[in-house]
Amino acid sequence: MLPDQKLLRIPGPTPIPPSVKQAMSRPMIGHRSQEASELIQSIRPGLGPLFGTKEEVMIVTGSGTSGLETAVVNAAAPDDEVLVIVTGAFGDRFAKICEAYDLKTHRMDVEWGKAARPEQVEQYLKSHPDIRVVFATFCETSTGVLNPIGEIGKVVQHSSDALFVVDGVSAIGGVEANMDDWGVDIFVTGSQKALMLPAGLALIAVSERAWKKIESNPQHRFYLDLKKYKEKIEGNSTPFTPALSLLFGLRQVLELFEEEGLKQVFNRHKLMMNMTREAFRALQLPLFTSDQDASPTVTAVQPDRFSAEEFRQVIRKEFGLSVAGGQQDLKGQIFRVGHMGYSSPADVLQTISLVEIGLKTIGARFDFGQGVAAAQQVYTNWREQ
């Protein structure tokens, strides 16, 4: 509608804050310069708290998937038996990577839209004592489910000697994580979600236990060999040329987190989730996940009386408002609203007000303002706490 205005409300990539854009447009520097070294040094201490770990976090230049592959080739030795907990398209991706390396891959498929249950994982591990790595997804972006990684981690620790590897791509930076307490051995995220950056960086936190295996793991790997990254980052450097403009941006992102306070960042995401869910509920649109399984970063809706695709097309064309559709089997069945990263309660209100107009346009019946009012009430209650 307004040229130059894009309302990007997909579950990543997400909008970039102005100060981060500005930071990223600093003049380029040499990646072996003193300035680059200082840049990396300034970033390092801010990364651990995002994962809830005291360990060092590795920075790989690549998409989120490069981070997942890094986890696989470092955590799993050739011919390892592994378990992948698949709750959606990104669990499926973990499994496909494992299969590409000819690992003995067990899939524990969970109905899409539901979270994995720790008991189920426990049972699986007990009946498959040779599993060496367990892979799980924190926020399953394709369904808006947040898996109970803390509880699953406990179960993995108690029922096996397996390493526990978690995809935190659409959660880290928006949802509290406690890697060390939860017993996560490798925790991966990408830059383009709650971290408010363009895609291009994979961040990988690694436990002491995982390092032991990685050191002696004979799996073929070169660019994605975590040993190289560890050796270099301890000297404030990288093994290969890093995406420096993204590192400039990441430093500013960490400053924004510090300014707001991480606790408040996580609370803001929960608030946006609650506002979004109550709004859709008030509009009588079926939510795809239960309150218990819902992620603070993305909400999936499964409309029963209209086409999700027609709706998405209307709001994109009429208001420049982008929400995501369904993936794989859910294509055409759901739409997904992102509320993570550089996103505020004010943005949620704007999204809902436009969603309402879009719904009316395709014939839904309700009173204007109903969804907005529900979200306003959630926001107000939260502020009064």
Known binding residues for substrate are 336
Residue 162, phi-psi category: left (phi > 0), alpha (psi -120 to 50), beta (remainder): beta
Residue 318 near a second copy by CB under 8 A: yes
Compose the 261-280 pattern: x for residues touching a second copy by CB under 8 A, - for all others. -------x------------
- For residue 133, the cross-strand partners are 82, 163
Residue 325 near a second copy by CB under 8 A: no
Residue 385 near a second copy by CB under 8 A: no
Count residues near a second copy (CB under 8 A): 45
Candidate residues 127, 216, 380, 385; the one interacting with a second copy per rule CB under 8 A: 380
Which residues have C-beta within 8 Å of that of residue 201, sequence separation ≥ 6? 59, 60, 61, 62, 190, 191, 195, 243, 246, 247, 250
Residue 28 near a second copy by CB under 8 A: no
The least distance separating a second copy from the CB of residue 200, rounded to whole angstroms, comes to 20
Name the segment binding a second copy (CB under 8 A); options: 112-120, 205-213, 299-307, 319-327.
319-327
Per DSSP, 26 falls in state S
Residue 157 near a second copy by CB under 8 A: no
CA–CA dist 131, 374 (Å, integer): 47
CA–CA dist 49, 213 (Å, integer): 24
Residue 63 near a second copy by CB under 8 A: no
Candidate residues 107, 316, 350, 362; the one interacting with a second copy per rule CB under 8 A: 350
What is the token pair recorded at 38?
Answer: 């200082």
DSSP3 helix / strand / coil % (the chain, rounded to 5): 45, 15, 40
Q: Which of residues 196-235 bind a second copy (CB under 8 A)?
A: none
Residue 346 near a second copy by CB under 8 A: yes
What is the token pair recorded at 120?
Answer: 């189920």
What is the DSSP secondary-structure string of 62-88? E-HHHHHHHHHHHH--TT-EEEEEESS
Candidate residues 7, 8, 86, 250; the one interacting with a second copy per rule CB under 8 A: 7
Residue with tokens 């502020």: 383
CA–CA dist 11, 63 (Å, integer): 15
The least distance separating a second copy from the CB of residue 315, rounded to whole angstroms, comes to 10
- Amino acid at the residue 184: V
Candidate residues 281, 302, 347, 364; the one interacting with a second copy per rule CB under 8 A: 347
- For residue 105, the cross-strand partners are 82
Residue 362 near a second copy by CB under 8 A: no
Residues that bind a second copy (CB under 8 A): 1-5, 7, 17-20, 25, 256, 259-260, 268, 318-321, 342-347, 349-350, 353-354, 356-357, 360-361, 367-370, 372-373, 375-377, 379-380, 383
